[in-house]
Amino acid sequence: MDRLKVDLGARSYEIVIGSGVLKDLGVLLRSLGQASRIMLVTNPTVNDLYGEQLRAGLGVDDKHLILGMIPDGEEYKTMEHALRLIDLAVEHHFDRSSLIITLGGGVIGDLGGFVAAIYQRGIDFVQVPTTLLAMVDSSVGGKVAVNHPRAKNMIGAFHQPRLVLIDTATLKTLSSRDYRSGLAETVKYGIIADRDFFSFLQENAELINRRDETVLQHAIRRSCEIKAAIVEDDERESGVRAILNLGHTFGHAIETCCGYGTYRHGEAVAMGIVLAARLAHRLNLLDTAEKERILALMDALGLNLPIPNLPPQKWLNVMSQDKKVRHGRLRLVLPTAIGQVVIRDDIDPALIEEFLSRPD
């Protein structure tokens, strides 16, 4: 069992990583103190696979544990479903010492975490991520949200979990699309902050594709360390945290333009990373050898995906509506070398539009 601390003063917490650690949740929770009641937020897919194992490890009797079941899919990450969980909490007399446990991917973590953030002005929650994306990204850092019909993650809060428990054995059942989707966020950390980690991913690409647990545990730990360090510096994204958005401005626009659900979040991010590398190269911010290395790793991990043919003007418009826009200026995170990025808000939109018409 590997443990890592996210140091945020009174909001500090541990990330516990290991294979088969679901069964240890009960012991870990008891060290955090006793919860009056627990709501397990999950979906039927994950509940069928891991619900029993988690409940057995919790060792809580049935009257203290209630199930907050949400249908499987991004389209259920809504205010309506958050309110259903709140109804359930009220009905079962949840109070400020009650706890929410989220068991699932980023959708469940974001939704359950959002409910924890707003119920009685905030109660404790614990993240048990079961997708690679949730393990390396969404479960750490305290961003929780639901979607607005017209914009992703538009209703949300910063609310840190009390604990993140990552059981890498759960990755065995993940679909290859969802697995690859999580890899995109992993590569992101190498590009934004750690050249050695990028090399590690490159050297181990084959083992990663085979889901080798030892290699994965290292990749997950390093990803969490990098994310934790960035969040510790800038919990509420007033500065450096924005570098985590590498690939996301292009990517979110692809998700929105193509309709939610067409691409996985990580697939759109993979496309966004490729586009950011190509644009940075076109702007002479990134040299050819570095760009080629980035593209080669994306290829090796099956992340160099065909980019949909979107009208550049529409694409740019949607990018300009992104949450990452500040004072009306489009902000892009662009690599200048592997391990280094810059945030630029001074790139001529006409130039971006021209790039989007021939993004290769």
Q: Which residues bind ligand NAD (CB under 6 A)?
A: 43, 45-46, 49, 72, 74, 77, 104-108, 110, 130-131, 133-134, 137-138, 141, 143, 153, 170, 173-174, 178, 181, 264-265
Amino acid identity, position 219:
A
Q: Work out how close the CB of 344 gets to ligand NAD at its nearest, in angstroms, rounded to a whole number.
A: 22
- Whichever of 2 and 72 has its CB closer to ligand NAD, that residue is 72
Q: Work out how close the CB of 45 gets to ligand NAD at its nearest, in angstroms, rounded to a whole number.
A: 4
CA distances from 200 to 77, 123, 339, 344 (A): 35, 39, 13, 28
Cβ contact 89:40 at 8 Å: no
Cβ-based neighbours of 30, under 8 Å, separated by 6 or more: none
Q: Quickly tell me which residue has 């929650």 as its tokens.
A: 125
Catalytic residue among 14, 74, 213, 237: 237
Cβ contact 166:21 at 8 Å: yes
Six-digit token string for 335: 């690599």
185 catalytic residue (yes or no): yes
Q: Work out how close the CB of 69 gets to ligand NAD at its nearest, in angstroms, rounded to a whole number.
A: 12
- Whichever of 45 and 199 has its CB closer to ligand NAD, that residue is 45
Spatial separation of the C-alpha atoms in residues 82 and 71, rounded to whole Å: 12
252 catalytic residue (yes or no): yes
- Whichever of 249 and 355 has its CB closer to ligand NAD, that residue is 249
Q: Work out how close the CB of 330 gets to ligand NAD at its nearest, in angstroms, rounded to a whole number.
A: 20
Cβ contact 116:154 at 8 Å: no
121 catalytic residue (yes or no): yes
Spatial separation of the C-alpha atoms in residues 55 and 18, rounded to whole Å: 18
Cβ contact 141:229 at 8 Å: no
245 catalytic residue (yes or no): yes
Catalytic residue among 180, 241, 264, 278: 241
5 catalytic residue (yes or no): no
Catalytic residue among 37, 43, 159, 185: 185
Q: List residues with catalytic annotation.
A: 121, 143, 185, 227, 237, 241, 245, 248, 252, 265
